[in-house]
Amino acid sequence: MDHQQPEQKGRYGLLTAVTLITGTVIGSGIFFKASSVLTATNGSVPLGILMFALAALAIIFGSLAIGQISARTDKPGGIMTYYEEFISPRMACAYGWFEVFIHYPAIIAVLSWIVGVYFCTLFNIDGSLLLQCLIGTAWILICFGFNALSRKGGGYFQNASTFIKLVPLLLVAIFGLILGDPITALKARPIAANSASGMLAAVGPLCFAYDGWHVATFVQSDIKNPKRNMPLALSLTPIVITIVYICYFWGISSILGPEKVMEMGSAHVAAAMEKILGPLGGRIFFVFVIVSVMGTVNGETMGLCRTPYALSLRNMFPAAKKFSVMNKAEMPVNSCLLSMGISLVWMVIHYICQSTGILGNSDVSEIAIMSSYL
């Protein structure tokens, strides 16, 4: 399928490509799902570490494969472009529509809700599900707003938030593994006999924790020297993320103990920070956690904003001329507005699912992520 692409100069360097992958993957997942992994393994820290390592293998080899493909094209659209050039335009179209209407917006909605959850925790607000979702909705509007108005703004925030979010992770890892009791955590007996079904239950949370490593491919046309920088970013970053994840998981289990982490759920982050730094220090570092989640939403937003645009360049989207228009900041503003609207719809769907409990302990993002991997 022939399509014209406006000539664009790369705005982001290798650092932004690395921080985009790191910042999108490391967000709420490790904070929000560490307790779920422990629950799935019945409190077994060694088995949890093993599950993290096994999940990492898929991501690392997937990244190596995608990195090799990304070195062969510099067209916009990321994985959708790879489908078009190396498989078929129809597959590219199907994948692009899946990303626009299901995968990205579902994840953005859930992550923005988590921003609301953590915001209420920070300020000791007895937040209802509705209030949490409203706070999340506000962040969606803000995030899409500054991405639509400034191409560089989203990249700058992504760089800053990535380094900020590493602070609580590394703090917990260092404190737990050096000053905690890591050997006792490893030797802690499982609460019940482990089973294959229990290990399988950890797949959903782990997919959520690792999801987003491919998002940088959707801004490939904005990366300087993409045929060199994209393979480098995709190859090296997942290894670093895996090391950080395992150290955090082991560290948090050493500080609080596996049973406490499972009991407290997502609230274990605030408890660990308070134990390390005291009430005031814990509250300050919890701000870093909120910025971490915000950075993940921003990374997903950067990818989603450009996907209807990339589809429109290929005439694979309704009103293609409208959605391929760039504003003065060289951002596809109509594509951004459409993406924002779809994300808001998914926030409503998420609210309904959570309020009715129709998905049990899961949420709409896990469905989208598992579908993406399939």
Segment 59-64 shows an average pLDDT of 77
Confidence at 352, pLDDT banded by 50, 70, 90: very high
Q: Which two tokens stand for residue 360?
A: 């049990």
pLDDT at 109: 96
Which pLDDT does position 76 carry in this prediction?
66
pLDDT digits (tens, 9 = 90+) for 162-214: 777 777 788 888 989 988 888 888 877 666 655 555 667 777 777 777 776 67
